Amino acid sequence: MDMNTATEHVSVRIPIGAIALDGELALPAGAPGVVLFAHGSGSSRHSPRNRFVAEMLRSAGLGTLLMDLLREWEAPMERMSLPAARPDSWEDVFHRAAGRDALLLCPRDATPEMRRWRGHRAVGVVYRPESETGNYVPSVLPRRYDAFLYLDVTAALHPLPGVRARDEREVPETFPSGV
């Protein structure tokens, strides 16, 4: 492929019901296909690593569509209260059984009760209270983890005073590990 071929970049907005998902489509001339980056909690279409990988794919002639599946990543930080854990979820079981922080080393020969499928709450960087029932992942703890640390009470993290996020324009030297 001719590396000097122009790539068209287009902002896209895909309406889905009452919300819209934003993304960026980059399509080199003659691209045989498009690779979709669907970013959820913990990542974004703006991250240096994701943009680097997308650029490598475009240099190979493929189009890229970088989408954020959750609300705008750059939104101001919000503190939100989590409702009590869903009944019979792993978090509910630990809260009722221990009522305090606990470490469970997951045995391979777990009891039938431990081998039950239960919801395991998965709250990421972006949390949507209106989707609370969707924040549970069906899990059998001993099959999913070697150890499980349950924290009965937590609080939102606070940014360190005087520390600002880095504005990285290039992929860190340690890419792809140590990022």
- Over residues 2-48, the pLDDT tens digits come to 444 567 788 888 887 777 778 889 988 889 999 988 766 556 677 77
Domain that holds residue 63: 7-68
pLDDT band at 155 (very low <50, low <70, confident <90, very high): confident
Query: Average pLDDT, whole number, for the chain?
Result: 79
The answer to whether residue 81 sits within a structural domain is no
Q: DSSP of 5-70, one letter per residue?
A: --EEEEEEEEEETTEEEEEEEEEETT-S-EEEEEE-TT--TT-HHHHHHHHHHHHTT-EEEEEE-S
Q: Are residues 54 and 103 in the same domain?
A: no
The pTM score is 0.52
Q: Are residues 63 and 105 in the same domain?
A: no
The answer to whether residue 110 sits within a structural domain is yes
What is the structure's pLDDT at 112?
92
Q: Which residues pair with 19 in a beta bridge?
A: 16
Percent of the chain's residues with pLDDT above 70:
73
pLDDT band at 179 (very low <50, low <70, confident <90, very high): very low
Q: Are residues 146 and 95 in the same domain?
A: yes
Look up residue 178 and give its two tokens.
């140590």
The answer to whether residue 14 sits within a structural domain is yes
The answer to whether residue 39 sits within a structural domain is yes
Residue with the larger pLDDT of the pair 169 and 27? 27
Give the mean model confidence (pLDDT) for residues 56-73.
80
The answer to whether residue 73 sits within a structural domain is no
- Over residues 80-91, the pLDDT tens digits come to 778 888 999 999
Residue type, 173: E
Q: Are residues 97 and 45 in the same domain?
A: no
The answer to whether residue 76 sits within a structural domain is no
Pick from 19, 104, 28: which is nearest to 65 by CA? 28
Q: Are residues 62 and 11 in the same domain?
A: yes
Q: Taking a C-beta distance cutoff of 8 angstroms, is the pair 28, 10 a contact?
A: no
What is the structure's pLDDT at 137?
84
The answer to whether residue 50 sits within a structural domain is yes
The answer to whether residue 79 sits within a structural domain is no
Rounded Cα gap, residues 100 and 142, in angstroms: 20
> How many structural domains does the chain have?
2
Of the listed ranges 28-37, 61-70, 96-105, 159-168, the least confidently predicted one is 159-168
